[in-house]
Amino acid sequence: AQKITQTQPGMFVQEKEAVTLDCTYDTSDQSYGLFWYKQPSSGEMIFLIYQGSYDEQNATEGRYSLNFQKARKSANLVISASQLGDSAMYFCAMREGRNTGFQKLVFGTGTRLLVSP
């Protein structure tokens, strides 16, 4: 079963507008973590933001915020005031495996964001 689902293969946004990238997840763990990574065309994976399953407040990091809705198992990334440099692939990931003694990140298929002038 798909653990992380990103239903938007591509998204377009105009510079300075806000954009929301969707992510839903599936886990039976009570304790887990959710991550967003950015992958520009150069290939490296850049960590953006993290949300723990017990965190009551939504995570924020500068222009990035994570809209965490635990009951709906969604962890959407919101980018405010988009910039041209935000054009990239964005991956949602979940840390799982707490109960097995070792943990790993499982990634979704990604959303390609294109920011236009």
Partner 1 sequence: EAGVAQSPRYKIIEKRQSVAFWCNPISGHATLYWYQQILGQGPKLLIQFQNNGVVDDSQLPKDRFSAERLKGVDSTLKIQPEKLEDSAVYLCASSPRQGGGELFFGEGSRLTVL
Torsion sign over Cα 58, 63, 64, 68: positive
Within 10 Å of residue 45's Cβ, how many Cβ atoms? 15
Q: Which of 8, 11, 22, 50 binds partner 1 (CB under 8 A)?
A: 50
Query: Residue 84: which region, alpha, beta or left (left: phi > 0; alpha: psi -120 to 50)?
Result: alpha
Q: Which stretch binds partner 1 (CB under 8 A): 10-18, 60-68, 80-88, 102-110?
A: 102-110
Q: Which of 42, 56, 71, 85 binds partner 1 (CB under 8 A)?
A: 42
Residue with tokens 């990574």: 37
Q: Which of 30, 43, 85, 117 binds partner 1 (CB under 8 A)?
A: 43
Q: DSSP secondary structure string, 60-71?
A: EETTEEEEEETT
Residue 34 vs 117, nearer CB to partner 1: 34
Q: Which of 56, 71, 72, 102 binds partner 1 (CB under 8 A)?
A: 102
Which residues lie near partner 1 (CB under 8 A)? 4, 33, 35, 37, 42-47, 50, 91, 93, 95, 98, 102-110
